[in-house]
Structures are given as C-alpha cells and as structure tokens.
Amino acid sequence: MIRKAVIPVAGLGTRLLPLTRALPKEMLPIGDKPVIEHTIRELVDSGIDEITIVTSARKELVQRHFAPDADLERELRAAGKDEQAEAVAELSSLAHITYLYQNGPYGNGTPVLNAARVIGDEPFMVLWADDVFVAEVPRARQLRAAYEATRAPVLALMPMAVEDASRYGVPIVEEDLGGGRLRISGLVEKPRPEEAPSRYAAIGGYVVTPGVVAELEAATRRWHDRPEGEIYLTDALHRHAAANPVYGQVIDGDWWDTGTPLNYLRAQFAAALADPVHGPELRKLARES
C-alpha cells in the first residue's frame, strides 16, 4: 500500500519568467486553485494524505497557502462569510504536510532522495506540481493500483507525438500487459524523434521503491567524485530497470502541463471552460471572439 507522497517544489521556474520572479510556479492559479493544491487534492482523493513537500527558501508562499490562519477565519466569520471561512479552514487540514529544504546536487533526483531519507524503507509516490490531470479516476489512484498489481516501480505515461520525443523521457517498452500497463526495460532521456524507442512520454508521476532510492544514493556517491554531474530520477529508474521489473501506466484522462507559457495558458483555458458555473459564459465568449 502506498501511504506517502513527495512533491518537489524547489525548482526556479525559469521557463515561466518573469511571471515566476516572485510567485512560485506551483502557486500559479488554475481555475480557483493554485497548481499545487490540485496536486495535493489529487493525492488525498487517491487515499494518500501523508505528503512531504521538498522546498526552498524562495517558496514561502507554498507553506503559507496551507498554513492555519485563525485570524483570517475569524474575520471572515465576523463578516458573515462562513463559506469562505470553511474553505480557509479546510486547506490547513487537507493533508498531513511535512516540509523539507532541498539540499544536494542539481537535478530532480535530489529532492526525491532528501525525502526518502525521512520516509524510510517503503515505497512512495512522487508527483511534480507542474501538471494538472482531469480524469474520472485520479492519476495518483491509477498509479497506486498499478503498484499494488506489480509491487514494482511505476511511471505515469501518456501517448505522445513522435516529434515531441526530445522533450521527455521515453520508455523502452518490453511488453504490453493490457489495461494501459506496460513492462519497460529502461528510459531514454529526450531522444531525437527518429531514435525514440516508443510513442509514450514519462510525464512526472512515479511510484518509487527502495531499490530506486538505492540507485539515487549510488548516483550521489558518484557525484561526490565528479561534482559537475547531475542527479536525475529517470537515470535511477533506467539503472534499476536493467535488472529489476519496472512498469509504466498509461494514464486515462486529460493532461495539462503548466511548465511553459503556452501550456500554462492552455491549462487555464481548459479549466475555465470546464468550470460548471463560469464555463458556459466563457464558451459563449470564445465563440463570439
């Protein structure tokens, strides 16, 4: 059973500058919630409410968003705004959130390893707060089900156009097991389109096991010998897959990547159109434009 999750948020968000100069990219709004709140609600809806956020000193707003605020609640209730007060109170009790400061080599494997040293010897989920999924079954629940069926590391996958291969880690698929589940033997990071081993992209959701953490530890030891290197989770998964089962789960749902200006606008637009209150009026406005 997956009981815990890690969300790394220490990245600089340089692809979205100057928007992210002072505002963390994880706090950019999608609809009426910041991206990271969508991610945490997805985890909670999937039965995972012990969450470690690996952060940096620049990301204070993330902690403030989920912190209790008795003064604000009291002012809202005094003004007769009980619904807003309940929404503020719910945020602070949404999940059991622990914060760690990222420390170590550059690369997205470092925050995962930072958290693993606290979580201990058990599997856990890793989600980045760059993505928003709209799915009947949450992405995190689909990943958890795949782990429970395989007891091995699992990567979230989505179909991709082959010309986009150079933007993603692309899995080497060994066997299609049905139901969107694939056995994979490795990953190729950002291959040229003509060298892509499959038509799937790894899109920022993982179940990490102690064996993968051991590969991250080994990579860190190598980094101390050659500190110009970087530590990446996909590299650790690739090494682990050379001698151990690793699986991919093709996620059933719509995926919105918020990591670039255009994709962020697309995610905002899709969320706005899907809003049950404001969506009809916005669709009317889009038709008239």
pLDDT at 222: 81
Lowest mean pLDDT: which of 4-8, 82-86, 96-100, 252-256? 252-256
pLDDT at 75: 93
pLDDT tens track for 221-257 = 887 666 667 888 999 999 999 999 999 999 998 888 8
| Predicted structure pTM score | 0.91
* Closest C-alpha to 170, from 88, 257, 112, 237: 237
pLDDT band at 131 (very low <50, low <70, confident <90, very high): confident
Boundaries of every domain in the chain = 4-288
**Distance (Å, whole) CA 261 – CA 238:** 30
Over range 59-68, report the average pLDDT.
93
Identify whether the C-beta of residue 126 lies closer than 8 Å to the C-beta of residue 8. Answer: yes
Look up the CATH number of domain 4-288.
3.90.550.10
> HSE (CB half, 13 Å, CA atoms) of 147?
23
pLDDT at 28: 92
Identify whether the C-beta of residue 246 lies closer than 8 Å to the C-beta of residue 206. Answer: no
pLDDT at 273: 85
| 161 or 228: which leads in pLDDT | 161
**Residue 134 pairs with which residues in a beta bridge?**
254
User: Per residue in 137-162, is it b (16+ CB within 10 Å) or e — as a string?
Assistant: ebbbbbbbbbbeebebbbbbbbebee
3-state secondary structure of 200: strand
